[in-house]
Amino acid sequence: MVSLIDTDLVALQEMRTAVKSAKAAQQVYMKFSQDQVDQVVKAVANAAFAESERLGKLAVEETGMGVAEHKKIKNEVGSRDVYESIKDLKTVGIVGEDKANKVMEIAVPFGIVAGIIPTTNPTSTAFFKTLIALKTRNAIVVSPHPYAVRCTQEALRVCEEAAVTAGAPRGLIQCLTMASMEATQQLMKHPDINLILATGGGALVKAAYSSGKPAYGVGPGNVPVYIERTAKIETAVENIVNSKSFDYGTICATEQSIVVDRNVAELVTRALKKNGAYILSDEEKQVMEKVISPVPGKVNPKIVGKSPQTIAKLAGISLPTDTRIIVGLETKVGKEVPFSLEKLSPIFAMYIASDIDHAKEICLSLLELGGMGHSLSIHTETDAVAREFALEMPVSRILVNTMSSVGAVGGTTGLMPSMTLGCGTFGGNITSDNVTAKHLLNIKRMAYGIKEVNLTTSKIMPSKTNNSSGDVTDQVVESVLQSLGSSDKVNPQVVKDLVSEIVNKLSK
């Protein structure tokens, strides 16, 4: 018990020291010019890209998840592609000016960003968050996943050395190494942390939102993929299998369930087998269900990011060596239905839809189970169908005729390259965007007056502080009589009574 307490204390002290160092460095860095910032960001992106392969291998060795060559690709997206998408963004000084309306926009950094990194993408996410923080003159303190400390720390060391060589102050990039949940929670609540960028499990994201700090968190991605009857079946299935097998399904935007139109179900099944899918028998499916979710509603962590062969071995099932994904035919959706959950592994549920409306019902049920606001994939040659799903489904990204896993993060689409995908208020997030550098900026606005406002004032009856209502009445009567002039038709007493009545009503 004593050693455990000592470890937590050391972890807390490490966190406080890291924040202190980051703050000191950021105070220097925030004075950098746009050119200086851009030189630092470019140097970091180049260094990260150059180490993509080595760090991909290191991530797989440490976590036991995914495929090294696929980690390399993710590292390249998290470095080169992210850099290309933000390199021309103005983030220092005056970043916008509307001369016609005389409004000027000025960029200001947040300060210190707390970056929470998942075990599924430990190096690519570290690259991505570091680059968007540096581009916006912020410092970053990273809390890696306990199972990925070494590879995340090494990724950040590469970034730090490149940044310092390019002229950045040392200390701008910090990484916690003690793998303490207490230290992570205290990091998110630290008074000098200005923003939380959280990628991880639901509990961790909830903790980020509960910290009292501004936070970007992301929800789960139980992504359905609909194969509509007009889809190019061979191409669609090839994309889906490639996407699902990519890094063994560890990207949150990876397809989790296939929903196929009954008119093309047989063609899809044949194409799946042709592309390395193993279709489970009813008996095998029952055994696999217990491996996927030993406890109802919870996915077995032993299958996350593992190969189909490794997962099948846990179920006592023998698979052909060329098997790329496992498919189980399903009809139900719910926490007690393992195949309908977000599995983060090369395992698919497959549903048969009688028509488009039925497909929508299935997709909506899957999203409500655990993917609200995230993403949906569709394969169709009918643009009207794609638009119909885009308009009706409660998701932030609709991927059409592409690999959902890579497309959602900007790899095969025109979306902003990002490893943090917002789910909007559908999924309890503040943004539905692919989070990038622009989300880490405060924008001040200076505005000149360009319009005149005429304020009308009411005439106030003359009065003196110590006057009684009777005195006021006499003054008004006298003023009225003078304005009317002498006339026998005017009865001064009638005028006085009328004015007294009005004054009395106004004074109540």
Active site residues: 252
Q: Where are the alpha helices (DSSP H) in 112-168?
A: 124-135, 149-165
> Which phi and psi angles does 441 have, rounded to 5°?
-120, 140
Q: Residue 274: in which H helix or E strand, if any?
A: helix 265-274
Instruction: Give the integer Cα–Cα distance in Å for 255 and 26.
Output: 40
In sequence order, the β-bridge partners of residue 444 are 106
Instruction: Give the integer Cα–Cα distance in Å for 278 and 347.
Output: 10
AA identity, residue 74:
K
Q: Are 353 and 311 contacting, i.e. CB atoms less than 8 angstroms apart?
A: no
Name the one residue in this structure whose structure tokens are 């940044």.
Answer: 163
DSSP for 463-503, please give it.
Answer: --TT--HHHHHHHHHHHHHHHH-S-TT--HHHHHHHHHHHH
In sequence order, the β-bridge partners of residue 225 are 258, 377
Instruction: Give the integer Cα–Cα distance in Å for 32 and 417.
Output: 25
Task: Identify the CA nearest to 227 among candidates 351, 371, 380, 362.
Answer: 380
The answer for residues whose C-beta is within 8 angstroms of residue 49's C-beta and 6 or more apart is 75, 76, 79, 80
> Which phi and psi angles does 215 have, rounded to 5°?
-150, 140
In sequence order, the β-bridge partners of residue 215 are 196
Task: Identify the CA nearest to 289 among candidates 365, 341, 224, 364.
Answer: 341
Instruction: Give the integer Cα–Cα distance in Å for 81 and 323.
Output: 31
Name the one residue in this structure whose structure tokens are 């937590």.
Answer: 8
CA distances from 6 to 15, 148, 470, 502 (A): 14, 22, 84, 82
Q: Where are the alpha helices (DSSP H) in 51-123?
A: 52-63, 68-76, 82-86
CA distances from 239 to 10, 39, 115, 287 (A): 48, 38, 32, 28
Instruction: Give the integer Cα–Cα distance in Å for 375 and 256.
Output: 11
Instruction: Give the integer Cα–Cα distance in Å for 325 and 277.
Output: 5
Token couple for 204: 């961790």
